[in-house]
Structure formats: C-alpha cells, structure tokens
Structure 1
Amino acid sequence: MDNSQTVDVAILGTGPAGLQAAIHAARKKVSVVVLGKEAKSSLFHAHIENFCCMFDVAGDTMLENGRQQAANFGARFLDEDVLAIDPQENGYALKTETGTTFLATALIIATGTQRNRLGVPGEKTLLGKGVSYCVDCDGHFYKGETVAVVGNESAAVDGALTLTEIADKVHLICDKLEVSDHLRDKLDAGTVVVHQGAAVKAIEGENQVERLILASGESLPLTGVFIEQGAKGLLQLATNLGIMLDPEMRYIQTDKQQATNMAGIFAAGDICGPPWQMAKAVGEGCVAGVYAANHAKAKRAAA
C-alpha cells in the first residue's frame, strides 16, 4: 500500500521558528505540513518576558496560539518525528515514525538543538572511543560487535533497529518508551534487548569503551554506546544530505534567505546557532517560510 503524500513545504519542528515559518509559508497559498511534537519545544515549559510587545506569557500558550494561527492559514500538523530524509529528483522524501512518507518540494529544518548529554562518568573521556551521539554517522564501525543505545524516543529506537543490521547484539537502555505504535511493534518484533526502566550509571573502559554500568549495578560488556535522546537530531538527519554545518559540526549554516547549501532546504531558529532567543527564531522562521514557499512555487511553475 502506498503511504506517501505530496506537499509543497515540509517543516521539521513545532517551536517558534517552525510555527512562524508555517504561518508565512501557508499564507503564500502553498501546502504545508509541520512535523514534530509540541511538548518537546524548549519554549513549552518557558515563561516569556523579553519578546517585543508581550509580557509574562506562558510558553505553551504561545505555542498553541501559533499552531492555531498556522492552521487557520491551512498548515497541517502531525505529532510525529522524522526518521530519515532522502533526496528525490524534485525535492525530498521524509519518512516519519509511523511509516508515512512525505514528498516535499521544499524543506525547513527548525528542530532546535539537542542537549542530549547523559552527564555520567566516562561519557566525555570516551567520546570518539566508543561513545557516539549519532548511529547514522558511526554505526558502521561496530559490525559484529555488542553495542547499546541510550534513550526512550524515536531516535533511540530507530537507531537500535538500524544497529541490529550491523552489530551482533544491541541493547536499548531506556526509562519509559515514548514512541509510536509502529516503532514499538518493530522493536517488539526485532532482536533488540530492551532494558526498560533502566538508567546508565557509568561508561567504563581504558582507551576504549568496554562496559556499561546500569544504576541497578548490572554490567553490560560492549564496545559502543550511542546516546540518542529525543527525536532525530541535526547530525542524523543531515548526514546523507550534504548540508553544510559550522566548523564544530553543531549548527546549520544559512544565507540571508535562511537557505542552506542544498537547493530547497532552509533552516531557522536555534539549529542555526546562538543567540538562543525566541525573537531570533521567529524572525528566521518568517524568512525561511517566505523563501521556501517561493521555491516551491517556482518549481511548480517550471514543471
């Protein structure tokens, strides 16, 4: 069964940058879908006091208002994470955690930044020596070995499933799984050893990861630990797209139209670097929405 949909502009992220992009793109009469989970926005639990013309406003209220504004102009919202993005002849194919694929002419990345450190002993000292934050980037180094993925959302489950095709044994360390039924069913049907309700106490090894110590005291012998907390992040989604990042591989680089070096891909908000301010995110979202819509219209006219 074909489970694909065509859309002019797809937006990743439901924070202020993504919502403003959705408002401006939808107002230009193109089809818009916004993908992501509202409660994951850093604004959701914030209180706003420094945004022009607004004072003492709850972040979740602002997000809900922005969502309604965008919906009033025709934008659609799906509370799903994107697991993969593949270039197509006339745009990009986005595969979501429920198995749906969106064929988008233009793409706006407004996912914010991942603050996904565990903060446990050994994590920092063994980074690059068995500790990684990107399965898609480093997974192929662990062919035939035993590894663990730490996290309870889509990035962790998708990463663990990917690693079953590479590694000999895969552990998933998580508190309470927060994924779609589609991903949960794939996990249950696979070979991943799930440690639900577990937490990492330490990562140990001399010059290479040798074991993972759980809070329960259990020791898991392994050679690789992938920390994949939250939704699919920048590095995972950008790996196969050729998107230019800053020299430290943390942020997406854009021009004044919020366009990346890849045709049809735009970015806005914290994912483009500091300052971490809503005003910056909203402004960049506005610009990205306008030019992404213009790109989609131009492609449509040329077809």
Structure 2
Amino acid sequence: MTATHSTRMLILGSGPAGLTAAIYGARAGLAPIVVQGIQPGGQLTTTTDVENYPGFREVIQGPWLMEEMQAQAEHVGAQMMWDTITQVDLTQRPFRLTGDSGTVYLGDVLVIATGAQAKWLGLDSEDLLKGKGVSACATCDGFFYRGKKVAVIGGGNTAVEEALYLTNHSHDVTLIHRRDSFRAEKILQQRLFANERIKVLWNKQVNRFIDGGGTAGLVGIELEDTQTGELSTIEVDGGFVAIGHHPATELFRGHVSLDDDSYIKVEPGSTRTSVPGVFACGDVMDKTYRQAVTAAGTGCMAALDAERFLAEADFETKAHEAAE
C-alpha cells in the first residue's frame, strides 16, 4: 500500500533555506516534514571551505554546516524524509505531493526551498578543478584569491558583477566572453570599462582549465578564438564560471507563477507565492544574492509567513464553526 504522511507544514528542499524553515516551523509546534530531494543539504554539501557564514571565527566545511543544521532541525522536532517529489497538486488544501516511490505527502502549507544550480561549461577539466581554483561564486570564494590573478567567464550581469566584485581582492581580473559584446546592463558595462583592474578578452571560449598538478590546482586557462580558431593560454590562479543559474522550479511550472528566468515570484517583502498557503524561500526565488545566509534568512521568513497563514486560517475555521 502507498504510504501517506500528513503535516501542518511540508517543506521541499533541505538546504539552508529549507532547514531554517524547518527549525522555525518545529519551534512553532507545526511538526514539519522536510522532503530532502535529490541533493540533501543543498549546494553547500559540494562546498569545502566556508568563511562567510556568521557565527564561526574559523573556516568551516560546507557539509559539516549542513549536517549541523539538519541535526538542529531534527532536535526541535522536524522529520526528514529521503525522497524526490515527482508530482504536485496545489489546487486545494491540504496540498498533495507525490514522491518517485509513490509515497504521498500532505501539507496544510507548503514551503518550496528547492534551490538553484549554477550553470557550468561542462568540461572534464572543470569538474576536476572545482574547489581547486575553479568556482561559480566570486562572493563565496573571491577572498581566497587576494592579490592573485583571476578570470571570469561570461557576458551577462552575473559575469560583470562578479568581475567588479573581484577587484576588491585582485589587481588583475580578466573577463572572458565568447562574443564581441556583453548582454549585461549598460550601467554595469560602464562601471566595468572604467575599472583599470579589469581587462576583457572578446570572442574567446574556454577549451580547458589547466591543472598545475599536485596541490597547485588551477594555473591557467586554454582559450580558443571563436572567429579564427586560434588557441592561446592565460595564467590565472582562480577561474569563476558566471554564466547563470538554473532554479529548480520545473516541477512547479503551471502551478505557481514564475518570472521570465523561471524563478518563483513572491510578493515583495514576503515569501508568499501566487497560491495562498504556498511559500518560497532561498535560491529558488532569489536571483540576486544567492548566499547561504540570505537563503537561511528567507527560510525564517517563510516559516513565519506560513505560521501566520495557518493561524489566520484556523481562526476563520473556528469562527465559521461557531457561527453554525
């Protein structure tokens, strides 16, 4: 027989946003169920050194941080379920989600915290050197390259913003773009071209990230001219892939409102989505900041918004029953 789990607060996703929502929901007595998804712990489980999460003087490890968050959520009463949701029905409450095993999850409110994934170039050398000189987050890892040569790959807002940010740490930033013009906003381009620490390589695509061997990590990038095919190499200590993100929202397409980039739309200043009782937090609704601490903050907001929604719904139900 198909198993069914019911809860007042159902949370989909187990990164900083989902687990923070679980902590607040559990402390409010909502006995949340967290469906962890295909990557329990979220993106931080693929990150090694974390230096910018508040409360830790020394460098901590991403997987350890997520283990501690999960343990805290379970300690206060949240229940973790290892499953991947394949179907959703948000047409009525309780909301109904179905896992790939056939297990059904019912929630009076739903918190969506499925996150987003950075887009990568898809190179074998990129996989080999992730965390060893190749990154997809300048804000997260730029500090480690203070005084070193770095390169950013991309041509949109993200790439230009990351190149500008890296000038806080590096005097030598190269922006590599496969075309001869940027897609980034004009104001960002003006700031970029005015910054003497940044040089731009046009019509270049990355063929290979060069491994220095041993503990050296990334030492250079092999480039190919997109017009002539000519190969060249630049020496760098850090390479930042900045070609955008994929929010994990395909499951909710047609169920909640998404923006043009497929992020879930929320009411300004809240985590409320287009469906009453459904809330979104973390990178699935945040295309601007995409940090663990901001994800955790919106997870707190989602739990508080959900708690208030339930309190109002319960009050209306009791008032209706009293009137009858």
Q: TM-score, normalised by structure 1?
A: 0.58
Structure 2 match to 1:42 = 43
Q: Which residue of 2 aligns with 1:9?
A: 9
2:133 maps to which residue? none
For the Cα contact (< 8 Å) 2:247–2:263, is it kept in 1? no
2:304 aligned partner: 290
Counterpart of 2:90 in structure 1 is 87
1:169-224 Cα offsets, whole Å, 9 max, x none, are xxxxxxxxxxxxxxxxxxxxxxxxxxxxxxxxxxxxxxxxxxxxxxxxxxxxxxxx
Deviation of the 1:297 alpha carbon: 3.7
Q: Counterpart in 2 of 1:27?
A: 27
Count of residues paired in the alignment: 191
Question: Any residues of structure 2 matched to 1:124-135 within 5 Å, and which?
Answer: none
Secondary structure, counterpart of 1:83 in structure 2: strand
Q: Could you tell me whether the CA contact under 8 Å between 1:92 and 1:107 is conserved in 2?
A: yes
**Aligned residue identity for 2:309:** H
Rg comparison, structure with higher value: 2
Partner of 1:277: 291
Aligned-residue CA RMSD (Å) = 2.4
Q: Deviations over 1:145-185 (max 9, x none)?
A: xxxxxxxxxxxxxxxxxxxxxxxxxxxxxxxxxxxxxxxxx
Alpha-carbon distance in 1 for matches of 2:79, 2:28: 15
Tell whether 2:299 aligns with 1:299.
no
Amino acid at match of 1:267: A
Q: What does the per-residue CA deviation read over 1:221-244, in whole Å, with 9 as the maximum and x for residues that have no partner?
A: xxxxxxxxxxx9734221231x22
Distance apart, 1:72 and its partner CA: 1.4
Q: Return closer, same or farther for 1:281/1:233 CA change in 2, 3 Å cut-off.
A: closer
Aligned AA for 2:297? G
Q: 1:118–1:299: structure 2 CA closer, same or farther, 3 Å change rule?
A: farther
Partners of 1:40 and 1:2 lie apart in 2 by 26
Question: Residue deviations 1:265-294, cap 9 Å, x none?
Answer: 111111112212111101101110111123
Decide which of 235, 259, 275 is 2:272's aligned counterpart. 259
Structure 2 unmatched runs, 5+ = 124-245, 319-324
Aligned to 1:112: 115
TM-score by length of 2: 0.54
Name the CA shift for 1:5/1:40 in 2 (closer, same or farther; >3 Å).
closer
What SS is found at the alignment partner of 2:88?
A: strand
Task: Tell me which of the two structures has the higher relative contact order, counting C-alpha pairs closer than 8 angstroms and 6 or more residues apart.
Answer: 1
Residue 66 and residue 111 in structure 1: after superposition, are their counterparts in 2 closer, same or farther (change >3 A)? same
State the alpha-carbon separation in 2 of the partners of residues 27 and 296 from structure 1.
15
For 1:147, the equivalent position in structure 2 comes to: none
Runs of 4+ in 1 over 4 A off after TM superposition: 37-40, 115-120
Q: Is 2:247–2:283's contact at 8 Å kept on the other side of the alignment? A: no
Give 2:21's aligned amino acid: A
Q: CA deviation at 1:107?
A: 0.7
Paired residue type of 1:44: T
For residues 116 and 89 of structure 1, what CA distance do their matches in structure 2 show? 35
Matched, 1:75 2:88: no
Report SS of the residue matched to 1:43. helix
Alpha-carbon distance in structure 1 between the residues aligned to 2:249 and 2:285: 13
After TM superposition, the structure 1 = structure 2 runs for residues 164-203 of structure 1, keeping only pairs within 5 Å, are none
